[in-house]
Chain A
Amino acid sequence: MTSVIERPSAPQSPHTPSLVNRLKPNLETLPTLAAIVIFVGMIIYGEIAYGRILQFSTLSNLFINNAYLIILAVGLTFVILTGGVDLSVGAIIAISSLVGVMLANSGWNPFVVIVLMILIGSAFGAASGILIQYFNVQPFIATLAMMFLARGLASMLSTTPERLADESPIRTLSTEIKVIDGPKINDLVTTPNVIIAAVVVIIAFYVLHKTRFGRTVYAIGGSEQSATLMGLPVVRTKLAIYIISGTLAGLAAVVYTSKLGIAQNITGVGWELDAIAAVIIGGTLLTGGAGFVLGSVIGALVLGLMNVLITRDGSIPPEATTIITGAILLVFVLLQRLVVSRKRKT
Protein backbone atom coordinates (compact mmCIF):
# COMPACT_ATOMS: atom_id res chain seq x y z
CA MET A 1 0.00 0.00 0.00
CA THR A 2 3.01 2.25 0.30
CA SER A 3 2.97 2.84 -3.41
CA VAL A 4 -0.39 4.57 -3.12
CA ILE A 5 1.07 7.44 -1.17
CA GLU A 6 4.29 7.77 -3.14
CA ARG A 7 3.94 10.39 -5.77
CA PRO A 8 5.10 9.02 -9.10
CA SER A 9 8.45 10.55 -9.85
CA ALA A 10 8.44 13.31 -12.43
CA PRO A 11 7.95 11.60 -15.75
CA GLN A 12 10.95 11.68 -18.02
CA SER A 13 13.38 13.98 -16.29
CA PRO A 14 14.99 15.92 -19.12
CA HIS A 15 18.60 14.91 -18.56
CA THR A 16 18.11 11.14 -18.76
CA PRO A 17 15.72 10.55 -21.64
CA SER A 18 17.88 7.89 -23.23
CA LEU A 19 17.92 5.71 -20.10
CA VAL A 20 14.18 6.09 -19.59
CA ASN A 21 13.48 5.29 -23.20
CA ARG A 22 15.71 2.26 -23.10
CA LEU A 23 14.16 0.92 -19.89
CA LYS A 24 10.51 1.70 -20.51
CA PRO A 25 9.75 -0.45 -23.54
CA ASN A 26 11.59 -3.35 -21.93
CA LEU A 27 9.47 -3.23 -18.80
CA GLU A 28 6.25 -2.77 -20.70
CA THR A 29 6.89 -5.54 -23.15
CA LEU A 30 8.37 -7.90 -20.56
CA PRO A 31 5.11 -9.77 -19.80
CA THR A 32 4.33 -10.15 -23.51
CA LEU A 33 7.86 -11.41 -24.15
CA ALA A 34 7.43 -13.81 -21.24
CA ALA A 35 4.23 -15.10 -22.83
CA ILE A 36 5.98 -15.67 -26.17
CA VAL A 37 8.85 -17.45 -24.41
CA ILE A 38 6.36 -19.66 -22.55
CA PHE A 39 4.46 -20.42 -25.76
CA VAL A 40 7.62 -21.41 -27.63
CA GLY A 41 8.82 -23.33 -24.57
CA MET A 42 5.53 -25.24 -24.39
CA ILE A 43 5.76 -26.15 -28.09
CA ILE A 44 9.34 -27.37 -27.70
CA TYR A 45 8.52 -29.30 -24.53
CA GLY A 46 5.41 -30.82 -26.13
CA GLU A 47 7.35 -31.80 -29.26
CA ILE A 48 10.08 -33.49 -27.20
CA ALA A 49 7.83 -35.12 -24.61
CA TYR A 50 4.83 -36.18 -26.66
CA GLY A 51 5.71 -35.51 -30.32
CA ARG A 52 3.37 -34.47 -33.13
CA ILE A 53 2.94 -30.94 -31.78
CA LEU A 54 4.94 -28.96 -34.32
CA GLN A 55 2.98 -30.08 -37.34
CA PHE A 56 0.30 -28.61 -39.54
CA SER A 57 -2.70 -30.53 -38.20
CA THR A 58 -2.02 -29.81 -34.52
CA LEU A 59 -1.34 -26.15 -35.11
CA SER A 60 -4.39 -25.74 -37.38
CA ASN A 61 -6.56 -27.37 -34.74
CA LEU A 62 -5.10 -25.04 -32.12
CA PHE A 63 -6.44 -22.09 -34.11
CA ILE A 64 -9.72 -23.78 -35.08
CA ASN A 65 -10.52 -24.82 -31.50
CA ASN A 66 -9.57 -21.49 -29.96
CA ALA A 67 -11.00 -19.07 -32.52
CA TYR A 68 -13.79 -18.14 -30.10
CA LEU A 69 -11.34 -17.58 -27.23
CA ILE A 70 -9.18 -15.32 -29.42
CA ILE A 71 -12.25 -13.22 -30.27
CA LEU A 72 -13.28 -13.00 -26.58
CA ALA A 73 -9.74 -12.07 -25.57
CA VAL A 74 -9.61 -9.29 -28.16
CA GLY A 75 -12.84 -7.84 -26.74
CA LEU A 76 -11.57 -8.03 -23.18
CA THR A 77 -8.28 -6.41 -24.19
CA PHE A 78 -10.19 -3.21 -24.95
CA VAL A 79 -11.97 -3.35 -21.59
CA ILE A 80 -8.94 -4.23 -19.49
CA LEU A 81 -6.84 -1.56 -21.24
CA THR A 82 -9.15 1.05 -19.72
CA GLY A 83 -8.80 -0.55 -16.29
CA GLY A 84 -12.25 -2.16 -16.33
CA VAL A 85 -13.32 -5.76 -16.62
CA ASP A 86 -16.15 -7.63 -18.32
CA LEU A 87 -17.35 -10.77 -16.56
CA SER A 88 -20.46 -11.21 -18.69
CA VAL A 89 -18.88 -12.59 -21.88
CA GLY A 90 -19.34 -16.29 -21.03
CA ALA A 91 -23.03 -15.84 -20.21
CA ILE A 92 -23.56 -13.71 -23.32
CA ILE A 93 -22.29 -16.65 -25.39
CA ALA A 94 -24.83 -18.90 -23.66
CA ILE A 95 -27.88 -16.75 -24.38
CA SER A 96 -26.72 -15.65 -27.82
CA SER A 97 -26.03 -19.17 -29.06
CA LEU A 98 -29.23 -20.51 -27.50
CA VAL A 99 -31.36 -17.83 -29.17
CA GLY A 100 -29.46 -18.34 -32.42
CA VAL A 101 -29.95 -22.10 -32.52
CA MET A 102 -33.61 -21.88 -31.59
CA LEU A 103 -34.37 -19.23 -34.22
CA ALA A 104 -32.34 -21.02 -36.90
CA ASN A 105 -34.18 -24.26 -36.20
CA SER A 106 -37.53 -22.52 -36.46
CA GLY A 107 -36.65 -21.49 -39.99
CA TRP A 108 -35.29 -17.96 -39.73
CA ASN A 109 -32.93 -16.64 -42.36
CA PRO A 110 -29.39 -17.58 -41.21
CA PHE A 111 -28.00 -14.12 -41.93
CA VAL A 112 -30.69 -12.50 -39.83
CA VAL A 113 -29.98 -15.02 -37.07
CA ILE A 114 -26.25 -14.31 -37.13
CA VAL A 115 -26.79 -10.55 -37.04
CA LEU A 116 -29.27 -10.99 -34.19
CA MET A 117 -26.80 -13.16 -32.23
CA ILE A 118 -24.17 -10.45 -32.51
CA LEU A 119 -26.67 -7.73 -31.58
CA ILE A 120 -27.71 -9.61 -28.42
CA GLY A 121 -24.08 -9.31 -27.32
CA SER A 122 -24.05 -5.61 -28.19
CA ALA A 123 -27.21 -5.05 -26.14
CA PHE A 124 -25.76 -6.63 -23.00
CA GLY A 125 -22.50 -4.75 -23.53
CA ALA A 126 -24.42 -1.47 -23.88
CA ALA A 127 -26.35 -2.20 -20.67
CA SER A 128 -23.09 -2.80 -18.76
CA GLY A 129 -21.57 0.32 -20.24
CA ILE A 130 -24.53 2.51 -19.30
CA LEU A 131 -24.55 1.18 -15.73
CA ILE A 132 -20.82 1.78 -15.39
CA GLN A 133 -20.59 5.14 -17.11
CA TYR A 134 -23.82 6.87 -16.14
CA PHE A 135 -24.56 5.34 -12.75
CA ASN A 136 -21.05 4.91 -11.35
CA VAL A 137 -21.48 1.17 -10.78
CA GLN A 138 -18.16 -0.64 -10.45
CA PRO A 139 -17.37 -2.47 -13.71
CA PHE A 140 -17.17 -5.90 -12.17
CA ILE A 141 -20.48 -5.52 -10.31
CA ALA A 142 -22.28 -4.24 -13.40
CA THR A 143 -20.92 -7.00 -15.63
CA LEU A 144 -21.49 -9.62 -12.90
CA ALA A 145 -25.14 -8.55 -12.86
CA MET A 146 -25.29 -8.81 -16.67
CA MET A 147 -23.67 -12.24 -16.42
CA PHE A 148 -26.42 -13.47 -14.10
CA LEU A 149 -29.14 -11.78 -16.13
CA ALA A 150 -27.92 -13.39 -19.36
CA ARG A 151 -27.46 -16.78 -17.73
CA GLY A 152 -30.89 -16.59 -16.09
CA LEU A 153 -32.63 -15.57 -19.33
CA ALA A 154 -30.84 -18.40 -21.14
CA SER A 155 -32.09 -20.82 -18.48
CA MET A 156 -35.63 -19.54 -18.99
CA LEU A 157 -35.40 -20.32 -22.72
CA SER A 158 -34.14 -23.84 -22.30
CA THR A 159 -32.23 -26.00 -19.86
CA THR A 160 -31.56 -28.82 -22.31
CA PRO A 161 -28.97 -28.85 -25.10
CA GLU A 162 -30.42 -27.42 -28.32
CA ARG A 163 -29.00 -28.96 -31.46
CA LEU A 164 -28.47 -26.91 -34.61
CA ALA A 165 -29.99 -28.71 -37.62
CA ASP A 166 -27.32 -30.51 -39.63
CA GLU A 167 -28.23 -28.78 -42.89
CA SER A 168 -28.23 -25.29 -41.32
CA PRO A 169 -26.16 -22.82 -43.38
CA ILE A 170 -24.63 -21.48 -40.15
CA ARG A 171 -22.57 -24.63 -39.96
CA THR A 172 -20.74 -23.67 -43.17
CA LEU A 173 -18.71 -21.26 -41.04
CA SER A 174 -16.84 -24.24 -39.69
CA THR A 175 -16.21 -26.09 -42.95
CA GLU A 176 -12.55 -26.94 -43.23
CA ILE A 177 -10.60 -25.46 -46.09
CA LYS A 178 -7.31 -27.14 -47.02
CA VAL A 179 -4.57 -24.61 -47.52
CA ILE A 180 -1.62 -26.98 -47.82
CA ASP A 181 -2.30 -30.62 -48.56
CA GLY A 182 0.30 -32.36 -46.42
CA PRO A 183 1.11 -36.08 -46.27
CA LYS A 184 -1.59 -38.30 -44.73
CA ILE A 185 -3.85 -36.23 -42.45
CA ASN A 186 -1.18 -33.65 -41.78
CA ASP A 187 -2.87 -30.81 -43.67
CA LEU A 188 -2.81 -27.13 -42.95
CA VAL A 189 -6.52 -26.44 -42.69
CA THR A 190 -8.48 -23.40 -41.75
CA THR A 191 -12.13 -22.54 -41.34
CA PRO A 192 -14.10 -19.35 -42.00
CA ASN A 193 -14.21 -19.06 -38.20
CA VAL A 194 -10.43 -18.75 -38.00
CA ILE A 195 -10.53 -16.16 -40.77
CA ILE A 196 -13.20 -14.22 -38.83
CA ALA A 197 -10.96 -14.31 -35.75
CA ALA A 198 -7.97 -13.15 -37.78
CA VAL A 199 -9.97 -10.26 -39.26
CA VAL A 200 -11.13 -9.28 -35.75
CA VAL A 201 -7.53 -9.27 -34.52
CA ILE A 202 -6.32 -7.17 -37.46
CA ILE A 203 -9.12 -4.62 -37.08
CA ALA A 204 -8.57 -4.43 -33.31
CA PHE A 205 -4.83 -3.97 -33.85
CA TYR A 206 -5.46 -1.17 -36.31
CA VAL A 207 -8.05 0.53 -34.09
CA LEU A 208 -5.94 0.36 -30.93
CA HIS A 209 -2.65 1.46 -32.41
CA LYS A 210 -3.53 3.68 -35.35
CA THR A 211 -6.70 5.57 -34.48
CA ARG A 212 -7.67 8.38 -32.15
CA PHE A 213 -10.16 6.03 -30.47
CA GLY A 214 -7.36 3.58 -29.67
CA ARG A 215 -5.17 6.25 -28.15
CA THR A 216 -8.11 7.41 -26.02
CA VAL A 217 -8.51 3.83 -24.73
CA TYR A 218 -4.87 3.80 -23.62
CA ALA A 219 -5.20 7.27 -22.13
CA ILE A 220 -8.23 6.29 -20.02
CA GLY A 221 -6.31 3.29 -18.70
CA GLY A 222 -3.34 5.48 -17.82
CA SER A 223 -5.45 7.94 -15.87
CA GLU A 224 -9.13 8.52 -16.44
CA GLN A 225 -8.98 11.89 -14.74
CA SER A 226 -6.15 13.14 -16.93
CA ALA A 227 -7.94 11.87 -20.01
CA THR A 228 -11.05 13.83 -19.00
CA LEU A 229 -9.03 16.96 -18.30
CA MET A 230 -7.32 16.64 -21.69
CA GLY A 231 -10.76 16.84 -23.25
CA LEU A 232 -10.77 13.30 -24.59
CA PRO A 233 -14.22 11.77 -25.13
CA VAL A 234 -14.01 9.51 -22.07
CA VAL A 235 -17.74 8.85 -21.69
CA ARG A 236 -18.26 7.89 -25.32
CA THR A 237 -15.13 5.73 -25.40
CA LYS A 238 -15.92 3.83 -22.24
CA LEU A 239 -19.43 3.10 -23.46
CA ALA A 240 -17.98 1.98 -26.77
CA ILE A 241 -15.50 -0.48 -25.29
CA TYR A 242 -18.19 -2.33 -23.34
CA ILE A 243 -20.33 -2.47 -26.49
CA ILE A 244 -17.28 -3.76 -28.41
CA SER A 245 -16.67 -6.42 -25.77
CA GLY A 246 -20.33 -7.50 -25.81
CA THR A 247 -20.47 -7.49 -29.62
CA LEU A 248 -17.35 -9.62 -29.88
CA ALA A 249 -18.84 -12.01 -27.31
CA GLY A 250 -21.87 -12.27 -29.62
CA LEU A 251 -19.53 -12.95 -32.55
CA ALA A 252 -17.70 -15.56 -30.48
CA ALA A 253 -21.09 -17.19 -29.88
CA VAL A 254 -21.64 -17.42 -33.66
CA VAL A 255 -18.19 -18.95 -34.13
CA TYR A 256 -18.62 -21.41 -31.28
CA THR A 257 -22.15 -22.45 -32.26
CA SER A 258 -21.21 -23.03 -35.87
CA LYS A 259 -18.33 -25.23 -34.77
CA LEU A 260 -20.11 -27.31 -32.13
CA GLY A 261 -23.70 -27.10 -33.37
CA ILE A 262 -25.05 -27.34 -29.83
CA ALA A 263 -26.17 -24.57 -27.52
CA GLN A 264 -27.04 -24.92 -23.87
CA ASN A 265 -27.78 -22.63 -20.96
CA ILE A 266 -24.54 -23.72 -19.25
CA THR A 267 -22.36 -23.07 -22.32
CA GLY A 268 -19.46 -20.82 -21.52
CA VAL A 269 -19.38 -21.13 -17.72
CA GLY A 270 -16.00 -19.79 -16.66
CA TRP A 271 -14.96 -18.59 -20.11
CA GLU A 272 -14.73 -15.04 -18.88
CA LEU A 273 -11.89 -16.25 -16.66
CA ASP A 274 -10.15 -17.94 -19.60
CA ALA A 275 -10.48 -14.74 -21.60
CA ILE A 276 -9.18 -12.57 -18.73
CA ALA A 277 -6.32 -15.04 -18.24
CA ALA A 278 -5.49 -14.84 -21.97
CA VAL A 279 -5.38 -11.03 -21.85
CA ILE A 280 -3.27 -10.93 -18.67
CA ILE A 281 -0.88 -13.62 -19.88
CA GLY A 282 -0.55 -11.64 -23.09
CA GLY A 283 0.89 -8.76 -21.14
CA THR A 284 -1.97 -6.30 -20.74
CA LEU A 285 -1.77 -4.58 -17.37
CA LEU A 286 -4.79 -5.37 -15.20
CA THR A 287 -4.77 -1.78 -14.02
CA GLY A 288 -5.01 -0.62 -17.62
CA GLY A 289 -2.95 1.67 -19.78
CA ALA A 290 -0.50 -0.79 -21.27
CA GLY A 291 -0.82 -3.91 -23.38
CA PHE A 292 -1.09 -5.33 -26.84
CA VAL A 293 -3.91 -7.02 -28.67
CA LEU A 294 -1.46 -9.44 -30.30
CA GLY A 295 -0.27 -10.40 -26.82
CA SER A 296 -3.83 -11.47 -25.98
CA VAL A 297 -3.81 -13.74 -29.03
CA ILE A 298 -0.61 -15.34 -27.73
CA GLY A 299 -2.25 -15.66 -24.31
CA ALA A 300 -5.26 -17.44 -25.81
CA LEU A 301 -2.94 -19.79 -27.72
CA VAL A 302 -0.93 -20.52 -24.54
CA LEU A 303 -4.16 -21.59 -22.80
CA GLY A 304 -5.22 -23.65 -25.82
CA LEU A 305 -1.84 -25.34 -26.08
CA MET A 306 -1.94 -26.05 -22.34
CA ASN A 307 -5.18 -27.98 -22.83
CA VAL A 308 -3.61 -29.93 -25.69
CA LEU A 309 -0.56 -30.80 -23.59
CA ILE A 310 -2.69 -31.83 -20.60
CA THR A 311 -4.79 -34.09 -22.85
CA ARG A 312 -1.66 -35.60 -24.40
CA ASP A 313 0.00 -36.11 -21.04
CA GLY A 314 -2.97 -37.90 -19.52
CA SER A 315 -1.45 -38.10 -16.03
CA ILE A 316 -2.80 -34.71 -14.95
CA PRO A 317 -6.48 -35.02 -14.07
CA PRO A 318 -8.59 -32.70 -16.26
CA GLU A 319 -10.09 -31.27 -13.06
CA ALA A 320 -6.71 -29.71 -12.30
CA THR A 321 -6.84 -27.60 -15.47
CA THR A 322 -8.57 -24.73 -13.70
CA ILE A 323 -6.00 -24.82 -10.90
CA ILE A 324 -3.20 -24.60 -13.46
CA THR A 325 -4.95 -21.74 -15.29
CA GLY A 326 -5.40 -19.99 -11.95
CA ALA A 327 -1.75 -20.51 -11.02
CA ILE A 328 -0.53 -19.18 -14.39
CA LEU A 329 -2.84 -16.17 -14.03
CA LEU A 330 -1.52 -15.52 -10.52
CA VAL A 331 2.11 -15.74 -11.66
CA PHE A 332 1.47 -13.24 -14.43
CA VAL A 333 -0.43 -10.85 -12.15
CA LEU A 334 2.47 -10.99 -9.69
CA LEU A 335 4.91 -10.40 -12.55
CA GLN A 336 2.91 -7.30 -13.54
CA ARG A 337 2.92 -6.10 -9.96
CA LEU A 338 6.69 -6.41 -9.95
CA VAL A 339 7.04 -4.58 -13.25
CA VAL A 340 4.77 -1.75 -12.13
CA SER A 341 6.56 -1.23 -8.83
CA ARG A 342 9.91 -1.33 -10.66
CA LYS A 343 8.65 1.27 -13.08
CA ARG A 344 7.58 3.55 -10.24
CA LYS A 345 11.07 3.47 -8.79
CA THR A 346 12.98 4.21 -11.99
Chain B
Amino acid sequence: MFKEIQIFKNEITYFEKLWIKNKVGQSPVYIIINPELLQTTSLSKILENMEISLKNLKINPLFPYPLYLITEQKLKSDIIPLANSKAELPPYFNFRWKVPTPSEKTIIQKINILKNNLIASPIDRFIKEIKTIKKEQKIFHDLLREEDFYIDIINNLPKK
Protein backbone atom coordinates (compact mmCIF):
# COMPACT_ATOMS: atom_id res chain seq x y z
CA MET B 1 0.00 0.00 0.00
CA PHE B 2 2.89 2.31 -0.72
CA LYS B 3 1.91 5.76 -1.92
CA GLU B 4 4.06 7.55 -4.45
CA ILE B 5 4.98 11.22 -4.10
CA GLN B 6 6.79 13.15 -6.82
CA ILE B 7 8.75 16.27 -5.94
CA PHE B 8 9.08 19.20 -8.30
CA LYS B 9 10.32 22.01 -6.00
CA ASN B 10 12.84 22.52 -3.24
CA GLU B 11 10.99 24.68 -0.70
CA ILE B 12 10.20 23.94 2.92
CA THR B 13 6.59 25.19 2.72
CA TYR B 14 6.03 23.09 -0.39
CA PHE B 15 7.26 20.00 1.45
CA GLU B 16 5.09 20.75 4.49
CA LYS B 17 1.96 21.00 2.35
CA LEU B 18 2.87 17.75 0.57
CA TRP B 19 3.34 15.87 3.85
CA ILE B 20 0.00 17.07 5.21
CA LYS B 21 -1.86 16.32 1.98
CA ASN B 22 -0.46 12.79 1.65
CA LYS B 23 -0.70 11.96 5.38
CA VAL B 24 2.96 11.11 5.69
CA GLY B 25 3.64 9.02 8.80
CA GLN B 26 0.14 7.56 8.79
CA SER B 27 0.72 5.29 5.80
CA PRO B 28 3.82 4.02 4.01
CA VAL B 29 5.12 6.44 1.39
CA TYR B 30 8.01 6.63 -1.06
CA ILE B 31 9.36 9.77 -2.72
CA ILE B 32 10.69 10.17 -6.25
CA ILE B 33 12.47 13.38 -7.20
CA ASN B 34 11.86 14.85 -10.63
CA PRO B 35 15.06 14.59 -12.71
CA GLU B 36 14.66 18.20 -13.89
CA LEU B 37 14.88 19.36 -10.27
CA LEU B 38 18.06 17.34 -9.76
CA GLN B 39 19.73 19.19 -12.61
CA THR B 40 19.21 22.56 -10.90
CA THR B 41 19.70 21.68 -7.20
CA SER B 42 21.77 19.07 -5.38
CA LEU B 43 20.22 16.10 -3.59
CA SER B 44 21.83 16.99 -0.26
CA LYS B 45 20.07 20.39 -0.19
CA ILE B 46 16.73 18.78 -1.00
CA LEU B 47 17.30 16.27 1.81
CA GLU B 48 18.11 19.08 4.26
CA ASN B 49 14.90 20.94 3.47
CA MET B 50 12.90 17.73 3.76
CA GLU B 51 14.37 17.01 7.19
CA ILE B 52 13.62 20.56 8.37
CA SER B 53 10.02 20.33 7.16
CA LEU B 54 9.55 16.99 8.96
CA LYS B 55 10.93 18.49 12.19
CA ASN B 56 8.60 21.50 11.89
CA LEU B 57 5.56 19.26 11.58
CA LYS B 58 6.90 16.80 14.20
CA ILE B 59 6.54 13.85 11.83
CA ASN B 60 8.82 10.88 12.39
CA PRO B 61 9.89 9.27 9.08
CA LEU B 62 10.13 5.81 10.66
CA PHE B 63 7.18 5.41 13.05
CA PRO B 64 4.39 4.38 12.72
CA TYR B 65 4.86 4.05 8.95
CA PRO B 66 8.06 4.74 7.00
CA LEU B 67 8.89 7.36 4.41
CA TYR B 68 11.46 6.24 1.85
CA LEU B 69 13.43 8.33 -0.63
CA ILE B 70 14.34 6.54 -3.85
CA THR B 71 17.63 7.67 -5.38
CA GLU B 72 20.46 5.95 -7.16
CA GLN B 73 23.02 8.40 -5.72
CA LYS B 74 24.96 7.26 -2.67
CA LEU B 75 24.03 9.48 0.22
CA LYS B 76 23.97 9.17 3.99
CA SER B 77 21.08 10.44 6.00
CA ASP B 78 20.39 9.83 9.67
CA ILE B 79 16.73 10.77 9.52
CA ILE B 80 15.17 9.68 6.22
CA PRO B 81 15.70 6.08 5.04
CA LEU B 82 17.00 5.72 1.49
CA ALA B 83 16.50 3.07 -1.21
CA ASN B 84 18.11 2.60 -4.61
CA SER B 85 14.96 1.43 -6.36
CA LYS B 86 11.36 0.34 -5.80
CA ALA B 87 12.50 -3.28 -5.60
CA GLU B 88 14.49 -2.50 -2.43
CA LEU B 89 11.41 -1.27 -0.56
CA PRO B 90 10.21 -3.67 2.15
CA PRO B 91 7.69 -6.14 0.71
CA TYR B 92 5.68 -6.17 3.96
CA PHE B 93 3.85 -3.01 2.91
CA ASN B 94 3.19 -4.14 -0.68
CA PHE B 95 -0.41 -5.06 -0.23
CA ARG B 96 -3.57 -4.36 -2.19
CA TRP B 97 -6.29 -2.71 -0.21
CA LYS B 98 -9.73 -4.27 -0.49
CA VAL B 99 -13.17 -3.54 0.91
CA PRO B 100 -12.99 -4.79 4.51
CA THR B 101 -15.44 -7.17 6.13
CA PRO B 102 -16.95 -6.28 9.55
CA SER B 103 -14.34 -8.34 11.42
CA GLU B 104 -11.57 -6.64 9.46
CA LYS B 105 -13.12 -3.25 10.23
CA THR B 106 -12.79 -3.88 13.99
CA ILE B 107 -9.09 -4.67 13.53
CA ILE B 108 -8.65 -1.52 11.43
CA GLN B 109 -10.23 0.53 14.25
CA LYS B 110 -7.72 -0.94 16.74
CA ILE B 111 -4.87 -0.19 14.32
CA ASN B 112 -6.03 3.44 14.06
CA ILE B 113 -6.05 3.78 17.86
CA LEU B 114 -2.51 2.40 18.12
CA LYS B 115 -1.37 4.62 15.25
CA ASN B 116 -2.71 7.76 16.95
CA ASN B 117 -1.12 6.66 20.22
CA LEU B 118 2.26 6.43 18.51
CA ILE B 119 1.87 9.73 16.67
CA ALA B 120 1.03 11.50 19.95
CA SER B 121 4.02 10.08 21.87
CA PRO B 122 7.40 11.92 21.75
CA ILE B 123 9.29 9.40 19.64
CA ASP B 124 12.19 11.73 18.76
CA ARG B 125 12.97 12.25 22.46
CA PHE B 126 12.87 8.49 23.06
CA ILE B 127 15.23 7.83 20.13
CA LYS B 128 17.74 10.34 21.60
CA GLU B 129 17.49 8.60 24.98
CA ILE B 130 18.08 5.24 23.28
CA LYS B 131 21.31 6.59 21.74
CA THR B 132 22.65 7.78 25.13
CA ILE B 133 21.65 4.47 26.75
CA LYS B 134 23.47 2.62 23.95
CA LYS B 135 26.73 4.54 24.62
CA GLU B 136 26.56 3.95 28.38
CA GLN B 137 25.85 0.25 27.87
CA LYS B 138 28.88 -0.03 25.56
CA ILE B 139 31.21 1.61 28.11
CA PHE B 140 29.89 -0.65 30.89
CA HIS B 141 30.26 -3.73 28.70
CA ASP B 142 33.90 -2.86 27.89
CA LEU B 143 34.67 -2.37 31.60
CA LEU B 144 33.14 -5.73 32.46
CA ARG B 145 35.17 -7.49 29.75
CA GLU B 146 38.36 -5.92 31.07
CA GLU B 147 37.49 -7.05 34.63
CA ASP B 148 36.85 -10.61 33.47
CA PHE B 149 40.18 -10.66 31.64
CA TYR B 150 42.13 -9.59 34.73
CA ILE B 151 40.29 -12.08 36.95
CA ASP B 152 41.11 -14.91 34.52
CA ILE B 153 44.83 -14.07 34.63
CA ILE B 154 44.89 -13.79 38.45
CA ASN B 155 43.13 -17.16 38.81
CA ASN B 156 45.54 -18.85 36.39
CA LEU B 157 48.71 -17.57 38.06
CA PRO B 158 50.69 -20.32 39.84
CA LYS B 159 49.94 -20.45 43.56
CA LYS B 160 52.90 -20.48 45.91
Is the A/B pair a real complex?
no
The interface of chain B, by Cβ under 8 A from chain A, is none
